[in-house]
A and B are shown apart, each in its own frame.
Chain A
Amino acid sequence: MSDIITPRTKLQMSHSPAGVEGPGFFATSLEKVVGMARKNSIWPLPFATSCCGIEFMATMASTYDLGRFGAERLSFSPRQADLLMVMGTIAKKMGPVLKQVYTQMAEPRWVLAMGACASSGGIFDTYSVLQGIDRIIPVDVYIPGCPPRPEQVLDGILQIQKLVESESLRRRDSPEYKALLAKYGIE
């Protein structure tokens, strides 16, 4: 997080979008309202394969509590998930499985690569380990660390929230997005 947060800092978890406000009414664009709603109700799919998954458990637990950011409800089915969180080493043999999970997710979908292994293969520069999941699926946010602390995971989630809030509602129709998926051979 860019701002330093002390115990006395007053945090507003959600800001109302820019709009016209008057007595008894508030007007804004539908896109902004939907963006705000999506941002504060992300359903993450935890794809945890190793120690980063343990840090994620701490992130979900009471001290750090990812639920504060509206991402309390984990989805263990890719069909209902918004955010694929890849946490840990992905062996090459696991690659097709991960890609299938990604393609099973419905749009809009985002991907977060947590830790050195998911981002780049990490210390496992070896014939059996995928050298970063961005070789098989597009990634929105990378979290560095081996493993990253829960604070970093929260920061990553906040970065994802920024994307979710500000991206066009029909990102999937944009030519850039289509070209990106085509690059990975995903329909």
Chain B
Amino acid sequence: MAVATAENIKTLHDTVLAKLKEKFADDVISSEIDYDFPVFVVKRENIQNILKFLKEDPELNFHFLTTLCGLHYPDNKGKEFGVMYQLHNMPKNFRIRLKAFIPGNDLEISSVTSLWATANWMERQEYDFFGIIFKGHPNLKRILNMDDITFFPMRKEFPLEDPTRDDKDDTMFGR
């Protein structure tokens, strides 16, 4: 599948879904095609095994972790946080996305640094910005922000503006 036509993406989605259902029937929650991307929502408990399977299965061969990022939906009760993984099979140009949601009172998910060394800094970044704890990460500490900040700035409850400014008059800014 060199060309990403709608038909090819549907085939990819169905193939991956069938394989995941066969192997991890209890862990697959839902799936959809988001524009040109097959997206699979899975349970967080088994995320490491699912990714390992997708990486090592000879047919799927998702050997490359393109990116990984944190999610925060404060209104989704019981699954406020999440992690998104984007995988790539370069020889066949297959690309898929996985999402695993996490409850806000138990921010833990397995680290995938054992599968991809490149996940090391990405997971540190998501810890830095969202406070998600990646279990099994070798060096989970802040990577971009100051070490001494006491909050996770990408969470929705924190305003974007610098909290230390006192020269901003709200009447002047129309807020």
Contact = CB atoms under 8 A, between A and B. Distances in A.
Nearest to A128: B145
B18 to A, nearest CB: 44
A6 interface: no
Interface residues on chain A, size class = under 10
Given A126-B160, A127-B158, A128-B153, A92 B146 contact: yes
Interface in A101-133: 121, 125-129, 131
Interface in B148-164: 149, 153, 158, 160-164
Contact of A93 (B145, B158, B164, B165): B145
Interface residues of A, dominant DSSP = loop
B145 A126 contact: no
Contacts of B162: 121, 125-127, 129, 131
Contacts of A125: 160-162, 165, 168
Contacts of B146: 92-93
Contact of B163 (A121, A127, A129): A127
A13 B81 CA distance: 64
A129 B149 CA distance: 13
A127 B163 CA distance: 7
Contacts of A129: 162
Interface of A: 92-93, 121, 125-129, 131
